[in-house]
């Protein structure tokens, strides 16, 4: 019997599901059991061509519609997503293995927020009037044209919407390629957008591995590429986009610092560290995986952290009582287990977890290492799993220097009850998305993105509009034209 997660077809192009079984089969494995639940096929060159040509053509009329008309469609799609939240959350859980307890509140809901927010902004995307004496200049905010979105596997619905909603609001079309690991959810986003009245061809989803992504990025018809992925992939995609002088947004990896001063509220700091390390089983780019704890609070912090981490409920992710799911794939599980072994070998002190959970699926126990030093592999490399490194520190100046000593710069957090210190420290941290007495909040109203190797550009908020549109300026002369000859 066909599993309910099996999509109608692999691709969604020009307003309809499209199949081409000549492409490489991509098995979809449910991470909680290891069972294959669906199959999709990678896009063949014919599918890539169909998606790009349809998106290029459809954009012309969409870009000419009023923003209010475009926004109405996006807001209708947001409503449909909210009505179907349960069904979409179940699918997200099949796609990623993340517990339903999380997906019910973090995925389709976040996607709907993006559609609603950018739908609301669409009607107000205007230029300005710049007086020049009798003459004047006016500016027009125009669409870029055809945008490509390429997704990672940790938030397949959210990423499809975070890229699609601002792109469409600005009058662009999109071809979105989900991660080959989680190909299911973006198809539903496309289906819902079209049900809400999006004209055919404006939001297309095609499947495939890196080479399909590369084919999209290098196509001369593409005006912009927005990637969510790892730093090595980001470097390749950025370079390929640069060769074609295309706009980019790069949402990449991190190894973010979370700094806990000894005057912080311990329960809140532990809560922040749990949210910043174990949500989605640690598969979150902005996670605060280097937890710097001031020496005065260290033992108290570790004791409560171990106690509360022990309350994580590992189990069937479709059961709402489960609060901690598996790694997305067996491969990701093995990568994470490899890092745990490295942590042990390099002399970090294991506080809790530290191994594969004794159950079916790709579960790794939530793991905390203490006495981690800056040079250890687990403190330097992005693990993308439930492995928290706790490092000690003495002074504010010292911790700022150590926190910044990384190629990454996605996020940073500070827990303290001293508000001047909180702002002073955040002001010196090299990171794009920061938190004070909190961690990992990502509302659509706030810009999201990194500095240094963690990325270029911003998603969400009004900032995203700048990255999905361009400004035309028009000088208007009222008098005669003077010329030298």
Active site residues: 251
Q: At what angle do helices 67-83 and 185-195 cross, to 10 degrees?
A: 120
Site string for ligand NAD, 269-308 (x = CB under 6 A): ----------------x-----------------------
The alpha-helical segments, DSSP class H, found in 385-475 are 396-404, 419-428, 461-467
Determine if 214 is a binding residue for ligand NAD (CB under 6 A): yes
Mapped onto helix, strand or coil, the DSSP state of residue 317 is coil
Cβ nearer to ligand NAD, comparing 80 with 335: 335
The correct pick among 72, 82, 236, 308 for binding ligand NAD (CB under 6 A) is 236
Kindly tell me which of 202 and 327 has the beta carbon lying closer to ligand NAD. Answer: 327
Buried b (16+ CB within 10 A) or exposed e, 204-237: bbbbbeeebbbbbbebeebbbbbbbbebebbebb
Residue count, binding to ligand NAD (CB under 6 A): 29
Q: Are 410 and 403 in contact (CB under 8 A)?
A: no
Q: Which DSSP letter does residue 247 get?
A: E
**Given candidates 233, 249, 281, 289, which one binds ligand NAD under the rule CB under 6 A?**
233
Q: What is the helix (H) or strand (E) element at residue 104, kind and residue range?
A: helix 100-106
Q: Which is nearer to ligand NAD, 47 or 196 (CB)?
A: 47
Site for ligand NAD in 321-360 (CB under 6 A): none
Binding of ligand NAD at residue 150 (CB under 6 A)?
A: yes
Cα–Cα distance measured from residue 165 to residue 176, given in angstroms and rounded to the nearest whole number:
12
Name every residue whose Cβ is closer than 8 Å to that of residue 55 and which is 6 or more positions away in sequence.
146, 173, 174, 175, 201, 202, 204
Phi-psi region of 78 (alpha: psi -120 to 50; beta: other; left: phi over 0): alpha
Does the footprint of ligand NAD cover residue 452 (CB under 6 A)?
no
Residue 340 beta carbon to ligand NAD: minimum distance, rounded to whole angstroms: 18
- Residue 378 DSSP symbol: H
Residue 433 in the binding site for ligand NAD (CB under 6 A): no
Residues 23-82 close enough to bind ligand NAD by CB under 6 A: none
Token digits of residue 371:
């006495």
Among residues 15, 71, 99, 151, the one that binds ligand NAD under rule CB under 6 A: 151
The secondary structure of 150-193 as a DSSP string is: E--SS-HHHHHHHHHHHHHHTT-EEEEE--TTS-SHHHHHHHHH
Distances in Å between the alpha carbon of 393 and those of 261, 298, 403, 480?
9, 9, 11, 70
94 vs 393, beta carbon nearer ligand NAD: 94
Q: Whole-angstrom Cα distance, residue 224 to residue 241?
A: 8
Q: Which of 65, 137, 209, 357 touches ligand NAD by CB under 6 A?
A: 209
| 214 in Cβ contact with 244 (< 8 Å) | no
Residue of the chain from 40, 81, 152, 368 that contacts ligand NAD (CB under 6 A): 152
Do 213 and 43 touch, CB atoms closer than 8 A?
no
The verdict on 183 binding ligand NAD (CB under 6 A) reads no
Lookup result for tokens 């997200």: 92
Which of residues 114 and 217 has its CB atom nearest to ligand NAD in the complex? 217
Task: For residues 364 and 332, give the distance between their C-alpha atoms in angstroms, rounded to a whole number.
Answer: 10
230 belongs to the binding site for ligand NAD (CB under 6 A): yes
- Judged by beta carbon, residue 293 or residue 442, the one nearer ligand NAD is 442
Nearest one of 140, 137, 161, 139 to 149, comparing CA atoms:
161
User: Percent helix, strand, coil in the chain (nearest 5)?
Assistant: 40, 20, 40
Binding mask 357-396 for ligand NAD (x = CB under 6 A): -------------------------x-x------------
CB of 228 to ligand NAD, least distance (A): 5
For ligand NAD, the binding residue among 217, 269, 305, 327 (CB under 6 A) is 217
Contact map string, positions 407 to 426, toward ligand NAD, x by CB under 6 A = ---x----------------
Q: Which of residues 246-265 bind ligand NAD (CB under 6 A)?
A: 251-254
Q: Establish if 102 lies at the interface with ligand NAD (CB under 6 A).
A: no
To ligand NAD, the closest distance from the beta carbon of 271 in angstroms equals: 22
Q: 30 vs 384, which CB is nearer to ligand NAD?
A: 384
Q: Binding segment for ligand NAD among 20-28, 76-84, 205-213, 265-273 (CB under 6 A)?
A: 205-213
236 or 300: whose CB is closer to ligand NAD? 236
Given 89, 154, 289, 460, the residue binding ligand NAD (CB under 6 A) = 154
225 vs 399, beta carbon nearer ligand NAD: 225
Catalog residues that contact ligand NAD under the rule CB under 6 A.
150-154, 177, 179-180, 209-210, 213-214, 217, 228-230, 233, 236-237, 251-254, 285, 382, 384, 410, 450, 455
């Amino acid at each position: 019997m066909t599993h309910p997660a099996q999509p109608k077809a692999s691709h969604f192009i020009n307003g309809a599901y499209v199949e081409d079984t000549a492409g490489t089969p991509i098995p979809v494995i449910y991470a909680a059991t290891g069972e294959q639940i669906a199959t999709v096929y990678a896009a063949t060159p014919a599918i890539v061509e169909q998606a790009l040509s349809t998106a290029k053509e459809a954009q012309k009329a969409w870009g000419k519609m009023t923003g209010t008309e475009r926004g109405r469609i996006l807001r209708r799609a947001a409503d449909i997503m909210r009505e179907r939240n349960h069904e979409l959350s179940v699918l997200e859980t099949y796609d990623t293995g993340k517990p339903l307890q999380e997906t019910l509140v973090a995925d389709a809901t976040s996607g709907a927020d993006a559609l609603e927010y950018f739908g609301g902004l669409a009607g107000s995307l205007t230029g300005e009037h710049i007086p020049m004496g009798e003459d004047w200049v006016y500016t027009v905010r125009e669409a870029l044209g055809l945008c490509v979105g390429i997704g990672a596997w940790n938030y397949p619905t959210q990423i499809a919407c975070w890229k699609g909603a601002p792109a469409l609001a600005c009058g662009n079309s999109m071809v979105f390629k989900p991660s080959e690991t989680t190909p299911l959810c973006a198809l539903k986003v496309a289906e819902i957008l079209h049900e809400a009245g999006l004209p055919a061809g404006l939001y297309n989803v095609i499947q495939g591995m890196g080479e399909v992504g590369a084919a999209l990025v290098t196509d001369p018809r593409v005006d912009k590429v927005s990637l969510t992925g790892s730093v090595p992939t980001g470097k390749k995609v950025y370079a390929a986009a640069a060769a074609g002088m295309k706009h980019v947004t790069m949402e990449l990896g991190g190894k973010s610092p979370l700094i806990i001063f000894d005057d912080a509220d311990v329960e809140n700091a532990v809560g922040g560290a749990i949210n910043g390390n174990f949500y989605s089983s640690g598969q979150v780019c902005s996670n605060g995986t280097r937890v710097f704890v001031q020496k005065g609070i260290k033992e108290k912090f570790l004791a409560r952290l171990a106690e509360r981490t022990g309350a994580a409920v590992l189990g069937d992710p479709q059961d709402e009582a489960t609060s901690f799911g598996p790694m997305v794939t067996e491969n990701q599980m093995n990568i994470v287990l490899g890092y745990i072994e490295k942590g042990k070998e390099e002399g970090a002190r294991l506080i809790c977890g530290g191994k594969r959970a004794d159950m079916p699926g790709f579960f790794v126990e939530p793991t905390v290492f203490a006495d981690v030093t800056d040079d250890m592999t687990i403190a330097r490399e992005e693990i993308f799993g439930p492995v928290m490194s706790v490092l000690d520190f003495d002074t504010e100046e010292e911790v700022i220097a150590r926190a910044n000593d990384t190629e990454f710069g996605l996020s940073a957090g500070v827990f303290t009850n001293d508000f001047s210190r909180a702002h002073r420290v955040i002001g010196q941290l090299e990171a794009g998305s920061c938190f004070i007495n909190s961690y990992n909040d990502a509302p659509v109203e706030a810009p999201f993105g990194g500095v240094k190797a963690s990325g270029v550009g911003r998603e969400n908020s009004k900032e995203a509009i700048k990255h999905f549109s361009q400004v035309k300026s028009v000088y208007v002369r009222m008098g005669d034209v003077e010329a030298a000859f």
